[in-house]
Amino acid sequence: MSIQIIRLFGDPVLRTPAEPVVDFDRELRQLVKDLTDTMMDAPGAGLAAPQIGVGLRVFTYWIDGELGHLVNPDLELSVELQDGEEGCLSFPGLRFDTPRALRTVAKGLNQFGEPVTIEGSELMARCLQHETDHLDGILFIDRMDREQRKAAMRAIREAEWAGGPTPTVKLSPHSTFGRGM
């Protein structure tokens, strides 16, 4: 296993748009493994590379028993919306209602550079949108209306992990990518 430290809200890497992957090599396959191992250990429904300090457009997901990853995603969103509770590994223990498109088609590549299309509704659609947002430097609290965001920020300030001393950060073996650090 190659479990990495998950960056928490307030870390600038979470607000930095990730760079497209151009090299489909052993390092990318190791990044996908690191993301998968870290997500499964957390446990979570998805994890984007910036959440472990790597500024590349890659994420993993684990939804309804389906484990996968997507590189350089591009989304098509339905006009129909859903509202529901959403959490994030970078906001441990907190969940908030967040509006999202009900259905999503995500197109991208796998770790070998082969085309992939993922169609999802409800939870899968929510996950695909959430993780792609991470790659764009957008956090789920940014998708909330003003009142909900104020309530979320209050809960974040009161969370045990917020506002304390900066944790010791283990550098990812992928820091050679030099993006978003």
pLDDT digit string, tens, across residues 50-90? 999 999 999 999 999 999 999 999 999 999 999 999 999 99
Cα separation, 129 vs 30, whole angstroms:
24
Q: Is the pLDDT confidence value at 169 over 50? A: no
Written as six digits, the tokens of 65 are: 């028993």
Neighbouring residues of 96: CB distance < 8 A, sequence distance ≥ 6 = 85, 86, 87, 140, 141, 144, 148, 151, 152, 155
Q: How many CB atoms lie within 10 A of CB 104?
A: 23
Residue indicated by tokens 């790597």 = 54
119: amino acid identity, one letter: E
Pick from 61, 47, 141: which is nearest to 98 by CA? 141
At residue 88's C-alpha, the angle toward residues 98 and 146, to 5°, is 35
Q: Is the pLDDT confidence value at 138 over 50? A: yes
- pLDDT at 161 (0 to 100): 84
State percent of the chain over pLDDT 70: 89
| Banded model confidence at residue 163, pLDDT cuts 50, 70, 90 | low
Q: Is the pLDDT confidence value at 23 over 90? A: yes
- pLDDT at 40 (0 to 100): 96
Q: Is the pLDDT confidence value at 173 over 90? A: no
Strand 66-77 versus strand 58-63 pairing type? antiparallel
Active site residues: 131
- pLDDT at 1 (0 to 100): 53
41: amino acid identity, one letter: D
User: Mean pLDDT across the stretch 146-165?
Assistant: 83
- Model pTM score: 0.87
**Largest alpha-carbon pair distance within the chain?**
45
Phi, psi (5° rounding) for residue 19?
A: -90, 145
Through-space distance between the first and last CA atoms of the chain, rounded to whole angstroms: 23
